[in-house]
Amino acid sequence: MSSAASSVRPQQEAPALESHVRTGKQQLPRKRKRKSEPLHAMVDDVAEQEVAWSSAVSKFQPGEVWYDTEGRTIQAHGGGILYHQGLYYWYGENKAGPTYMSFNLGYSTARVDIIGISCYSSPDLIHWTHEGPALRGGGHADLQPRRVAERPKVIYHDETRRFVMWLHMDTEDYELARAGVAWSKSPTGPFWYQGSFRPHGQQARDLTVYKDDDGSAYLVYTSEDNRALHIAQLTEDYLGVRPGYTRAMVNLKREAPAVFKSAGLYFMMTSGCTGWDPNSAEVFYSKSMMGSDWLPLGNPCMGATEVERTFTFFSQPTFVLPLPNQPGRFIFMADQWDSENLSASRYLWLPMWVLPVPLPVQQVAARQYEAYSAGGVKTMGRQPVLPPSAVDVVVQWESMWQLQDLQDPPLTRYESQAGGQTVLAEAIVQSFS
């Protein structure tokens, strides 16, 4: 994978990984085939075995079945994490119901009726205790089973001491397109649902919230029929949005936003818009949250195979978790959706770094890019000119890894054509400190 005419970031040699793709003429993206996991009726001896499994596990195993401390499959899809007083809280969609096709107003998608938003807690990010439903389905019209409640994210308000949850609320046909908000006095809930609305009258579908170091917080949501992302600052109590919003990534059709900050810059991980099917993640960065000039950094995936990188290891981002007191080091969190059985969708957490880029590579004018259409047709080309950038984001494929692996960023090899000369840079061994 190299081209003399373009700048390339050759990927590291992949560790052996179960192949998802047949070799041959047609390389179609293929999802991992899974056995269905028993979700409800788990017999005692199986549960015991799985508790044993759970306490024996000490590493992240991206894309494998993940059990909680009681031996039940974790149900926290489209989720996010809050770190609070030494514990991590993982909130996500409980999709442990039957998957069925919804045909409504001409739009059809696989769905599961609303059950609620789960909460799990963990001291180490590997062993998760189920804290029960943080927000239950039912009650409010927005939470009726045939509605949609997706991508919950929770932040903590230091003064009101409330935990505030934002989530994407919708009707089955995804036409309501609203942001919903709920709050609780406890990280594990129950959260009190306040209702939903269209921020500034604009659609809100996939969304996230981001709390900055100074306590200001932002709602980021896919709007304008998925053509643009909007960013609005939250009100002082975090329960609404302030006047004014920014339009970002206009016409780029990005969704599944996840915001993180490093070296004073704001970054946003995004996916393309292909429903439950995977596509290429792309990172953007900006000097300010409310800036409209979010600049592209391309697909951050490294390792595994070219097809796996192109399809973000067959996953869609949901959150980026900064590791406390470890600058430049993050966990990339994504969902490996199984649209035939959404409850069996898996979690893919990988090590991620924000790295300084060596000077020669900053001259790079373009990178090679490869993309696949939903039908699996490969196109190759050069990205529109990327601005010289002093930073890069790397998500590294590992089939098994642990937090201490984040200490050593991968050796990243860049190859670029600058001023007619090929420049190689292999010097990135330090992350920001």
> Which residue stretch of 137-145, 191-199, 268-276, 362-370 sits at the interface with ligand GAL (rule: CB under 6 A)?
268-276
Quote the least distance from Cβ 168 to ligand GAL, whole Å. Answer: 7
Interface stretch with ligand GAL, choices 96-104, 139-147, 269-277, 408-416 (CB under 6 A):
269-277
CA angle 35, 36, 39 (to 5 degrees): 145
User: Which one of residues 142, 255, 338, 415 is an interface residue with ligand GAL (CB under 6 A)?
Assistant: 255
Integer angstrom CA distances of residue 272 from 196, 277, 284, 310? 25, 10, 13, 11
In the complex, the smallest distance separating the C-beta of residue 5 from ligand GAL, rounded to whole angstroms, is 34
| Residue 167 interacts with ligand GAL (CB under 6 A): yes or no | no
The smaller minimum CB distance to ligand GAL, of residues 207 and 217, is found at 207
338 contacts ligand GAL (rule: CB under 6 A): no
Looking from the CA of 286 toward its CB, the CA atoms found within 13 Å total: 16
Nearest residue (beta carbon) to ligand GAL: 275
Q: Which of residues 292-331 bind ligand GAL (CB under 6 A)?
A: 316
Stretch of 12-20, 270-278, 302-310, 373-381 lying at the interface with ligand GAL (CB under 6 A): 270-278
Which residues 6+ apart lie within 8 Å of 35 measured at CB? none
Contact 80, 319 (CB under 8 A): yes
Does 83 participate in binding ligand GAL (rule CB under 6 A)?
Answer: no
Ramachandran angles phi, psi of 268, nearest 5°: -135, 120
Which listed residue (9, 20, 130, 151) binds ligand GAL by CB under 6 A?
Answer: 151
Total residues in contact with ligand GAL, by rule CB under 6 A: 11
CB of 184 to ligand GAL, least distance (A): 23
Chosen residue from 96, 229, 249, 273 binding ligand GAL by CB under 6 A: 273
Residues in contact with ligand GAL, shown as a per-residue x/- string from 56 to 75 under the rule CB under 6 A: --------------------
CB of 256 to ligand GAL, least distance (A): 5
* Binding window for ligand GAL (CB under 6 A); candidates: 10-18, 244-252, 271-279, 403-411: 271-279
Q: How far is CA 402 from CA 90, 122, 125, 240, 411, in A?
A: 18, 15, 10, 38, 18
Out of 190, 276, 305, 323, name the contact with ligand GAL by CB under 6 A.
276
Q: Which of 241, 256, 354, 395 binds ligand GAL (CB under 6 A)?
A: 256
| Residue found by looking up tokens 């192109």 in the block | 310
Minimum Å distance from CB 255 to ligand GAL?
5
Binding mask 194-233 for ligand GAL (x = CB under 6 A): ------------x---------------------------
Minimum distance, C-beta of residue 78 to ligand GAL, in the bound complex (Å): 5
275 binds ligand GAL (CB under 6 A): yes
Q: Are 333 and 320 in contact (CB under 8 A)?
A: yes
List residues near ligand GAL by CB under 6 A.
Answer: 78, 109, 150-151, 206, 255-256, 273, 275-276, 316
